[in-house]
Amino acid sequence: MKMDAINLKRTLESGQVFLWYERRGIYYIICSSSVVKIESCDGEFVYESRPEHVDVERLFRMDDDIHAINSSIGCKDALIADAIERFKGLRIMRQDPFQCLISFICATNTNIARVRQMLECICRRFGGKIELDGITFHTFPSVRALQDASINDLVGCGLGYRTRFIVQAVRSYAEMDVDDLVKGCYDDARDVLLSIDGVGNKVADCVMLFSLEKLEAFPIDVWIGRVIARYYRHITGIGDMVKFTPPMYRRVSSAMRGYFGMYAGYAQQYLYCYARAYM
């Protein structure tokens, strides 16, 4: 994987994945039941995974035509063109849907550091253990492992009110046909996800964008809300930073999808990074 094809640090720091670690320039990523190790060598990223093979190029969506994507969204306005230029090498990741769902339920109403703490505890208590480079890693638990988890064990991970949502999400996921969600349309996948107690519009959009092949999904958090209020009032009609009600969220997200098109999710990710750096 050529180093000029992806900015690994920028991608991992962009809020789409939480269980990753950097040690002396080497990156370790928890991908479901495996650990991926990535390091640079002679202008390329070399990688390995244990105990199971992980297709790293697929994980980082190297099959996406990033030049065509950037051209498609970059022509829309000066802001997105500037964001693309400033955040070259940013990629959307293709994550495991179960890990992604649980991660973003944990991410509601908190910060990235706290999300990582919760997920690390879940991994320690219910996941597997792998030794790599003298480091002990705990992998993400299977659906079955979390189905068998007790409420007390989950509460012990500091999930708070999210505990019952995690329990419900695990039960619902076990009954889902994930392939149907991947193959189906945005609206159908969203409706299935929203039927899970504790999954709102933003969590659904994150899961669709980062794990269900819905590159048109446009998650809106506080950072994207600021961008929309300042720069996209003419698209959304939202001129002040407000707390989005569910109907308002759907209307604004739909407007942004309509504006940026089939790669709106990439636009969202560039704008998210821009907002965190400059707003």
Which residues, 6+ apart, have CB-to-CB distance to 161 below 8 Å? none
Closest CA to 119 of 159, 153, 149, 92: 159
Percent of the chain with pLDDT over 70: 99
Per-residue pLDDT band for 41 (boundaries 50, 70, 90) equals confident
CATH number of 3-63+95-211: 1.10.340.30
**Mean per-residue pLDDT, 186-209:** 97
Per-residue pLDDT band for 124 (boundaries 50, 70, 90) equals very high
Identify the pLDDT of residue 250. 96
Please say if the pLDDT value at position 157 is more than 90.
yes
**Mean per-residue pLDDT, 16-25:** 95
CA angle at 28 for the pair 8 and 46, rounded to the nearest 5°:
60
**Mean per-residue pLDDT, 136-155:** 95
Decide which of 189 and 3 is more confident.
189
Domain residue spans of the chain: 3-63+95-211, 222-278
Per-residue pLDDT band for 239 (boundaries 50, 70, 90) equals confident
Helices of type H across 127-236:
143-147, 151-155, 162-175, 178-183, 186-194, 201-211, 222-231, 233-236
Q: Tokens representing 91?
A: 């990629």
**Mean per-residue pLDDT, 233-248:** 85
Identify the pLDDT of residue 43. 78
User: pLDDT averaged over the chain?
Assistant: 95
**Mean per-residue pLDDT, 56-84:** 97
Q: Please report, as a single letter, which amino acid is at residue 184.
A: G
Please say if the pLDDT value at position 42 is more than 90.
no
How many CA atoms are closer than 13 Å to the CA of 263, on its beta-carbon side? 20
Identify the pLDDT of residue 252. 96
Whole-angstrom distance, CA of residue 211 vs CA of residue 263 = 15
Tell me the whole-structure pTM to 2 decimals. 0.95
